[in-house]
């Protein structure tokens, strides 16, 4: 049907308007698009150029050189050594197993290191280099370089690794480093970005861990150009980091070496402290271990051998080990009594071999007793009954207060791992911890360093140094940082009556120099170096009434772990104290036989600064001492040869 002309005209007008509207909309859209493109390409050009540049250029950290550690004479205790390592890039290697097989024919590969590398290779990006072998010899590097065409993706590199040239001598003091673990990162609220560098090493124990912030330094940075996959194309520039600070310890490495050798394979510890400055010149725990084993990851077999050793070589017994101080604590009880005015130097107590307290007998070590004893004789012969009786009058609170005044029950501020506070109990402590009242028998036990009383060898050395000087001397381990000396800590006067301190020193002198003294056989006969000391024997088991009636079993007849601990503390020279020494031999038996001879030998070595002459020893022991000195010298020579190999 044909439309009327007017109808066609109206329809054309409608179509024209729609086309106009549609065309206008399209023109507006194109205009907006053009404006947006202009905004992006002109107005925001600089911003997008920067984003593109950042996408192309990465900022990467450069690990800083770790600070080195020296002894008081400048001998190296921990240093960085250039070492060769072999790395592999999985993407370039192609068939990794085939390349590793070829490499193994040229270089000896540790199975544990290789397994670790293969695991790390699977977790990492294919273009990242993974260390396959570390500390390889130059000859191995040469073989790899010569065979480079047959080893795609394999490259020898030079890096820094931590070396401890003194080996076991200072393992418990210096500690060791190791790769950063997830546990390490979890312990930090805001970890330093450098810690996330693969295989970056940090201190794990000892000074290495406690002074990590100083030793680590600050990372440098380099700008590298990368492609779309993140592979480095070239290095644009770099800013070197700041190396860590060098630390100088108060330790005398030569004396430390002697002390470690003198302790031998016994489960024992020894501390030597300078009475003038508070410097720790030797602090040794035995047996020890080689910290170099831990630097790149210790093997399962080596670690199992350490943790299964009943002598606990990984434990730092000097600060971590706490023991009943035994009779070395008697000076504390006596001084508390003197200061309180409860006892005088000439007052006597009768010792029949025991003291009845609340229907219980507290026995003296000497079954028949010591008879009438005054202060000096009680310490010289180590009469237990004298101190039981005195403590019941003085009271545990005054004894505990005196112990803390002398440095016991205090966590001394040292950059060492697991420094223990020990324990000097009082009435409030028992009520708070055990919910029980303090008993009179607890006081009797505490008076001779038994019961709840606990102290570390470090604390015993501090106690002895304070008795020798009358000052609140504190131990110091860091001598200087980057050549800047740290302040000494000789301490202020203790505020104790000097006459009372003099009486205690005289009694300790008698212990070592009077024929009836418990340490007389371990005396020093060189007049200029005579020492004052105190033996101690602390029980680790209860002795039943039946055993006492039948005769107490001798230590040597008991299993090792049930024997008494042996202790000895001393200072020398008596007239002008230079060093204070504490020795603890775990399950060593008697302090006079096991600990005192070691302490005497260490004291003489420290005073002479070298092997002491035989004339300093009693005539009866000189032949044995000479044989001992020769044996120790051979051992130290062998150890120095090992140090040269590590160097």
User: Could you tell me the pLDDT band of residue 188, with boundaries at 50, 70 and 90?
Assistant: confident
pLDDT of residue 51: 45
Query: pTM (2 decimals)?
Result: 0.84
Residues 270 and 200 in one domain: no
**Phi, psi (5° rounding) for residue 315?**
-80, 135
Residues 244 and 371 in one domain: no
DSSP type of residue 552 = P
Nearest to 457 by CA among 72, 249, 172: 172
Euclidean distance between CA atoms 254 and 632, whole angstroms: 13
393 occurs within a structural domain: yes
Indicate if the alpha-carbon torsion angle 464, 468, 474, 480 is positive or negative: negative
Q: Are 385 and 364 in contact (CB under 8 A)?
A: yes
54 occurs within a structural domain: no
pLDDT of residue 116: 79
Residues 231 and 259 in one domain: no
pLDDT of residue 170: 96
Residues 210 and 142 in one domain: yes
Residues 605 and 484 in one domain: yes
Q: Where are the alpha helices (DSSP H) in 39-177?
A: 45-56, 90-93, 96-106, 111-123, 138-146, 171-174
For residue 646, is pLDDT > 60?
A: no
Residues 406 and 527 in one domain: yes
pLDDT of residue 21: 74
Euclidean distance between CA atoms 377 and 365, whole angstroms: 15
Answer yes or no: 327 catalytic: yes
52 occurs within a structural domain: no
Euclidean distance between CA atoms 335 and 287, whole angstroms: 35
Q: Where are the alpha helices (DSSP H) in 514-579?
A: 545-550
| The last residue of a domain, from among 249, 272, 304 | 249
For residue 228, is pLDDT > 70?
A: no
Residues 335 and 207 in one domain: no
**Dihedral angle, C-alpha 236, 240, 241, 244, nearest 10 °:** 150
Residues 244 and 261 in one domain: no
Mean pLDDT, to the nearest integer, of 435-445? Answer: 95
pLDDT digits 0-9 by tens, 3-17: 566 665 666 666 666
For residue 647, is pLDDT > 60?
A: no
232 occurs within a structural domain: yes
Please state the separation of Cα 488 from the chain's center in Å: 21
By DSSP bridging, strand 57-62 and strand 69-70 are unpaired
Q: Which residues contact 615 (CB under 8 A, 6 or more apart)?
A: 525, 526
Least confident of 176-190, 334-348, 364-378: 176-190
Residues 259 and 228 in one domain: no
> Percent helix, strand, coil in the chain (nearest 5)?
45, 20, 35
pLDDT of residue 374: 96
Please report, for the domain that includes residue 164, its CATH number: 3.90.1310.10
Euclidean distance between CA atoms 569 and 468, whole angstroms: 11
pLDDT of residue 131: 80
For residue 616, is pLDDT > 80?
A: yes
DSSP type of residue 589 = -
For residue 391, is pLDDT > 90?
A: yes
**Phi, psi (5° rounding) for residue 220?**
-90, -170
Preceding peptide of 287 cis, ω within 30°: yes
51 occurs within a structural domain: no
Q: Which residues contact 81 (CB under 8 A, 6 or more apart)?
A: 160, 161, 162, 163
228 occurs within a structural domain: yes
Residues 545 and 578 in one domain: yes
Q: In the beta sheet, which residues pair with residue 301? A: none
Which SS3 state, helix, strand or coil, does residue 216 take? helix
Report residue 119 as tokens. 């695991």
User: Could you tell me the pLDDT band of residue 1, with boundaries at 50, 70 and 90?
Assistant: low
Q: Which residues contact 22 (CB under 8 A, 6 or more apart)?
A: none
User: Could you tell me the pLDDT band of residue 95, with boundaries at 50, 70 and 90?
Assistant: confident
pLDDT of residue 54: 47
The number of helices, as runs of H, and strands, as runs of E, in the chain is 23, 21
80 occurs within a structural domain: yes
Place of tokens 């400048």: 74
CA distances from 12 to 9, 17, 23, 26, 282 (A): 5, 9, 16, 21, 110
Residues 217 and 351 in one domain: no
Which of the pair, 617 or 179, is modelled with greater confidence? Answer: 617
User: Could you tell me the pLDDT band of residue 501, with boundaries at 50, 70 and 90?
Assistant: very high
Which SS3 state, helix, strand or coil, does residue 508 take? helix
Least confident of 340-349, 482-491, 517-526: 482-491
| The last residue of a domain, from among 234, 249, 264 | 249
For residue 128, is pLDDT > 50?
A: yes
For residue 493, is pLDDT > 50?
A: yes
Q: How many domains does the chain have?
A: 2
Residues 508 and 465 in one domain: yes
Q: In the beta sheet, which residues pair with residue 202? A: 178
State the residue range of the domain holding 336.
253-281+317-616
639 occurs within a structural domain: no
| The last residue of a domain, from among 199, 233, 249 | 249
pLDDT digits 0-9 by tens, 57-90: 666 667 788 999 999 999 999 999 888 888 888 8
How many CB atoms sit inside 10 A of residue 442's CB?
A: 21
Average pLDDT, rounded, for the chain: 88
Mean pLDDT, to the nearest integer, of 104-132? Answer: 80
For the chain, how far is it from start to end, CA to CA, in angstroms? Answer: 111
Portion of the chain with pLDDT greater than 90, in percent: 61
Least confident of 178-187, 281-290, 365-374: 178-187
User: Could you tell me the pLDDT band of residue 50, with boundaries at 50, 70 and 90?
Assistant: very low
Mean pLDDT, to the nearest integer, of 451-455? Answer: 96
Please report, for the domain that includes residue 520, its CATH number: 3.40.710.10
Active-site residue identified among 257, 267, 286, 327: 327
Mean pLDDT, to the nearest integer, of 303-318? Answer: 95
């Amino acid at each position: 049907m044909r439309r009327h002309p007017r109808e066609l005209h109206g329809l054309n007008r409608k179509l024209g308007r729609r086309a106009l509207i549609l065309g206008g909309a399209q023109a507006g859209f194109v205009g907006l698009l053009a404006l947006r493109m202009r905004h992006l390409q002109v107005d925001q050009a600089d911003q997008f150029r920067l984003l593109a540049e950042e996408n192309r250029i990465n900022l990467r950290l450069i690990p800083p050189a770790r600070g080195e550690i020296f002894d008081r004479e400048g001998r190296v205790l921990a240093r960085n050594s250039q070492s060769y390592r072999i790395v592999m890039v999985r993407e370039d290697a192609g068939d990794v197993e085939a390349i590793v097989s070829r490499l193994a024919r040229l270089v000896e590969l540790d199975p544990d290191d290789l397994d670790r590398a293969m695991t790390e290779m699977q977790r990492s990006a294919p273009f990242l280099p993974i260390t396959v072998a570390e500390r390889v010899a130059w000859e191995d590097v040469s073989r790899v370089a010569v065979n480079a065409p047959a080893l795609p993706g394999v490259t020898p590199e030079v890096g820094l690794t931590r070396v401890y040239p003194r080996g076991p001598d200072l393992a418990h003091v210096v500690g060791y480093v190791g790769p950063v673990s997830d546990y390490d990162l979890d312990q930090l609220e805001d970890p330093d970005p450098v810690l996330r560098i693969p295989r970056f090493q940090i201190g794990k124990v000892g000074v290495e861990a406690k002074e990590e912030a100083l030793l680590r330094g600050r990372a440098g940075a380099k700008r590298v150009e990368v492609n779309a996959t993140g592979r480095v194309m070239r290095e644009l520039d770099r800013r070197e980091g700041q190396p860590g600070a060098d630390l100088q310890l108060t330790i005398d490495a030569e004396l430390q070496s002697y002390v470690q050798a003198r302790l031998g394979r016994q489960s024992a510890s020894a501390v030597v402290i300078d009475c003038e400055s508070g410097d720790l010149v030797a602090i040794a725990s035995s047996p020890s271990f080689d910290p170099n084993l831990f630097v790149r990851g210790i093997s399962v077999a080596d670690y199992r051998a350490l943790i299964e050793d009943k002598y606990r070589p990984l434990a730092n017994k000097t600060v971590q080990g706490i023991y009943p101080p035994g009779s070395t604590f008697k000076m504390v009880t006596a001084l508390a009594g003197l200061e309180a005015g409860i006892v005088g130097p000439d007052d006597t107590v009768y010792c029949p071999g025991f003291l009845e307290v609340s229907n219980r007998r507290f026995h003296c070590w000497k079954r028949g007793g010591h008879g009438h004893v005054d202060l000096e004789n009680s310490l010289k012969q180590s009469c237990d009954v004298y101190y039981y009786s005195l403590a019941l009058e003085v009271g545990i609170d005054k004894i505990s207060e005196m112990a803390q005044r002398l440095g016991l029950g205090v966590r001394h501020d040292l950059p060492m791992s697991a420094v223990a506070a020990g324990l000097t109990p009082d009435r409030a402590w028992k009520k708070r911890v055990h919910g029980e009242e303090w008993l009179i028998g607890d006081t009797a036990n505490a008076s001779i360093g038994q019961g709840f009383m606990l102290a570390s060898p470090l604390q015993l050395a501090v106690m002895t140094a304070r008795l020798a000087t009358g000052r609140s001397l504190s131990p110091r381990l860091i001598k200087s940082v980057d050549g800047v000396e740290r302040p000494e800590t000789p301490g202020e006067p203790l505020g104790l009556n000097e006459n009372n301190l003099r009486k205690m020193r005289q009694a300790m002198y008698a212990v070592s120099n009077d024929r009836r003294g418990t340490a007389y056989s371990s005396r020093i006969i060189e007049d200029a170096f005579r020492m004052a000391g105190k033996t101690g024997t602390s029980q680790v088991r209860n002795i039943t009434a039946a055993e006492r009636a039948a005769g107490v079993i001798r230590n040597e007849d008991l299993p090792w772990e049930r024997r008494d601990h042996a202790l000895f503390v001393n200072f020398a020279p008596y007239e002008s104290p230079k060093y204070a020494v504490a020795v603890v031999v775990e399950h060593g038996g008697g302090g006079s036989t096991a600990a005192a001879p070691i302490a005497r030998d260490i004291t003489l070595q420290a005073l002479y600064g070298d092997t002491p002459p035989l004339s300093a020893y009693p005539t009866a022991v000189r032949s044995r001492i000479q044989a001992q000195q020769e044996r120790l010298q051979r051992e130290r020579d062998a150890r120095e040869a090992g140090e040269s190999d590590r160097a």
